[in-house]
A and B are shown apart, each in its own frame.
Chain A
Amino acid sequence: MSSPGDSRRTIARRRETALFLLAVPALLLLGIIFAWPVLRLLAMSVEDGTLANFEKATLDELYLYVLFDSVKIAAMVMAICLVVAYPVAFWLSRAGRWGVALGMFALLLPFWTSVLVRTYAWLVLLGRNGVVNRWLRDAGLIEAPLPLLHNTSGVLIGMVHVLLPYMVFPIYASLLRIDPDLSRAAEGLGAPAWRSFLRVTFPLSLPGVSAGCALVFVLSLGFFITPALLGGGRVIMVSMLIEQQVREFLDWPFAAALSTVLLVATLAIYALIGRITRGARHA
């Protein structure tokens, strides 16, 4: 004896199975080219049967300091990206056809240029005798050149430039999904534009903000060439130390331990970002 509810459930389950089968190729691919190497990496870090590599990666002052510094820089890049990207995404979501075309073009053009080329362009622009400093000096705004390059500010400028599209697009997508009637209704009920934005539009765009923040943060943590060039040697990111171990010293087990620590830190912060934005949405 089967009730109508049962058969509905069976259909639902069948549909679920079918959908799962559709995802199998992608899952297999991810498993082979991502999960398996990550496991191998983990295994390599404890190859010698001890946790010595992890001890060094997590307790040694040098590596701790660099990890902390990398997280700090990634968080700063994420925050700046968010502040810059949100208004852009907001404008794009309300712009006409030509506005969107222009905005997309301006966002995507640098996106298609090699990171190395863009980084060198910043060297030319931000140097002591670079375009920016010369312009500010000619305008009489400064006397001595501003130290824009070869320090943390140079790294931040370069990284924000590279990562901005990763923040704009998720926010733009989530803004597009919001029913425009909602803010119209809020305004119809007497809410001023700023309140309708704060209470209706912004909370509904949080999934995009969360995705953008997570993307930018995770990508920042792995950044390598931009901080190496624009930091003038004074900014060290974990990825640089990993690269040193892999390429120069061939100490792959230690590199694996460092990578694992970075991976765990990334996942932890990723979870934290998700929790914060979810919390904000329910508040």
Chain B
Amino acid sequence: MADKQDVSFKGVKEGLYLTLNGNQDFNVLKELLSERLKSAEFFFQGSDVILDTGDTPFSLEQILEIQQILAYPYGLRLKKVVRAETGQAPKEREPKAKPKRQEPPKVRSERNEEPREPVTKSPVSYGKLPETLLYRGTLRSGQRIAYEGNVVIVGDVNPGAEVKATGDIVVMGSLRGLAHAGASGDSGVAVVAFSLAPTQLRIADVIGRPPEGGAGVAREPEVARLKDGIIVVEPLEGTRWEGER
């Protein structure tokens, strides 16, 4: 029978680590994978994926099928395929066809945590910082990022595209689409863009749109934040970014 554990995603430094239980029927696996992707929808969008097929080798056709599922419509790139049989985090240098070795199942779950360790072992204690998503590339019409935390986009956000974050939104490019910062109600957040020309801007529960036939876009980075219940746009100058928080 289908089991949730048959398809699992873990976030690692290189992207997403996808483990498939090769003992499960391949069609069931495909279905489970589609379901998982659908439920997370755009959370994963655009990530690189490392596929771990466990101790069962997948045929080339099967891997191509998985690549298809990942690529459309979720935009995930299958970066590499590993067959992890050891307790080590898989590395590309590792010889792929290692002799089979029995291992306790417990080690398997620990393995995926490993690449994260250098991050948590930082000498400075940051306390509890909100997570930040860095997205490289242009967000085009119909594409959408929704994230719990801050979002930084290195690229443009085109009209028809949507960025939704519970924290701040920074666009290192032109923001021409829709941005919603503080989506869960935080009104102390800001939207920053090198060129701030959104179709519509939302901060917390306030919705703003540019004035009809308004003046052209400023040729400098700007920051939008909430002041007395109105969205105010100002040039981005040094410490202004931090606002009165």
Do these two chains interact? no
